[in-house]
Amino acid sequence: MPKPSVRTAPPPPWVVRYVANPLMRRLLPTRFGRWFPGMALLRFRGRRSGRAYVVPAGIYDHEGAQFVFTESGWVANFAGGLPVEVVRRGATTRRHGELVTDPAVVGPAIRAALAAGTSPRMLGLAIGKGHAPTDAELAAIRRAVVIRDPG
């Protein structure tokens, strides 16, 4: 059976959990956070549990909003919208995040991140050589949290 033209390609879970995430949680809130312009620290409370989350994530600007693309389960907290603190380049802002699954929104936002020079691997994607993924393909393997000013 041939490999799909677009599939998920995250780094090994142990690297993320025990090396990358702890390091980013320490660096992003400091002045050293400026060294990682494409990264942000998201601070929010679970919608039902009230559990405090502190999640390092890649963040991408598109059409006046910021997008975080992931397959992680924590994004379910943003269904229906949720307040979130975004720590980016050492500065903290209070914003509003919302889970978006519409391929007409997710696909173009991922495509814009790729066009801006982000590698598919940085988005946790593997795209077959010469394949131009559709919005539906991209939205099927990545969910997005769109972060905007509250209001």
> In tens digits, what is the pLDDT along the chain, a chain of 151 residues?
555 677 777 666 777 778 889 999 999 999 998 999 899 999 999 999 999 999 999 999 999 999 999 988 999 999 999 999 999 988 999 999 999 999 999 999 999 999 999 988 888 888 888 888 899 999 888 889 999 998 6
Task: Indicate the helix (H) or strand (E) that contains 136.
Answer: helix 135-141
pLDDT at residue 4, rounded to an integer: 64
pLDDT at residue 128, rounded to an integer: 86
Between the two ends of the chain, the Cα-to-Cα distance in Å is 49
pLDDT at residue 25, rounded to an integer: 94
Tokens 């269904």 — which residue? 79
**Do residues 68 and 144 make contact, with C-beta atoms less than 8 angstroms apart?**
yes
pLDDT at residue 17, rounded to an integer: 79
pLDDT at residue 2, rounded to an integer: 52
Instruction: Give me the residue spans of the domains in the chain.
Output: 6-148
Q: Quickly name the fold that domain 6-148 has.
A: Pnp Oxidase; Chain A (2.30.110)
Q: Give Cα separations from 21 to 17, 72, 105, 132, 134 (angstroms).
A: 6, 13, 27, 31, 30
Q: Give Cα separations from 43 to 12, 57, 116, 143 (angstroms).
A: 24, 11, 26, 18
Amino acid at 135: D
Q: Give Cα separations from 12 to 88, 90, 122, 124 (angstroms).
A: 25, 27, 13, 11
CA distance 118 to 60: 9
Partner residues linked to 85 by β-bridges: 43, 94
